[in-house]
Amino acid sequence: MSQIDSQPNDRSGLVDVYCADCGVDRSGDMMLTNTERTPCSTCGTTTLQYRRQLTCVASVSASVSTALTPGKQIRDWRLRWEQIRQKAIRLSVVHTGPRSAAAIHAAAQEIIDFYVFAYHLKDRLIAEKIQPKRTIESAITTNPTLALLADLANLDKHFVLN
């Protein structure tokens, strides 16, 4: 929607009249016919130019709404396994150049977090009944690599190896 606003110096809707040749204000001659109009006192012409300035003010309003739809929400053992695989790839990248003490401690913590995250895959396998709990726990205690993984994860939790 638009609305026409008048200029502050508006003359109540009258059109501004000027000499068509030299631009002198001839507002007083606006109502006169061509035969009644006297020549311009500056240039001598009788032709007029009519000017009207209009200002248009427009207001526009718009609104936008969005909705976020989460993607895959299934947090099954397959998703956990894929996340473990991706973390292992990121951790295996060689870091070169000088590192601060804080960066070294952060990298060490990232490795410990990986062990804890990987160890808890067993909880997803048990919850989803992929294998009986006894079978999974037995596999962890009899396999040296999985036993080390369990020890490292528990060391972070309990601060001691047992």
pLDDT of 6: 43
Residues 131 and 138: beta-carbon distance below 8 Å = no
Residue ranges of alpha helices (H) inside the chain are: 77-91, 101-119, 121-127, 133-142, 144-158
> Do the strands 16-19 and 48-51 form a parallel or antiparallel pair, or are they unpaired?
antiparallel
pLDDT in tens, 87-110: 999 999 988 878 899 989 998 999
pLDDT of 10: 45
Q: Domain-by-domain residue ranges, the chain?
A: 1-59, 77-158
Residues of the chain whose pLDDT is less than 50? 1-12
CA angle centred on 85, ends 83 and 88, rounded to 5°: 110
Q: Beta-carbon neighbour count of residue 73 at 10 Å?
A: 6
